[in-house]
Amino acid sequence: MKQSKLTKAARGRECQVRIPGVCNGDPNTTVLAHYRMAGTCGVGMKPNDLQGAHACSTCHDACDGRSNIVDRETARQYHAEGVMRTQALLIREGVIAA
């Protein structure tokens, strides 16, 4: 599967999800974690990369439900905030336009 520029650009970046007590703070594990929401994804359909957050591996695991260190709603809130922080960062850097 071909990675988009936004997916590739997430590598090595600071985690923007930042779940307290979960985030490992290791930019070497950061990937673009897509926020899944009804109407924007489904079977065989990933959300748009603009709905992604730079997430370290442990925050990504919490967001995707692979760990249960935090409850699902808490993980979704931090993930959504991470998407917004990632978008703000990309706007500041001139990668995307508002």
Among candidates 75, 77, 74, 49, which has minimal Cα distance to 62? 75
Q: Report helix, strand or coil for 85.
A: helix
Report the catalytic residues: 34
Which secondary-structure segment (H or E) carries 7? helix 5-10
Q: CB of 47 within 8 A of CB of 41?
A: yes
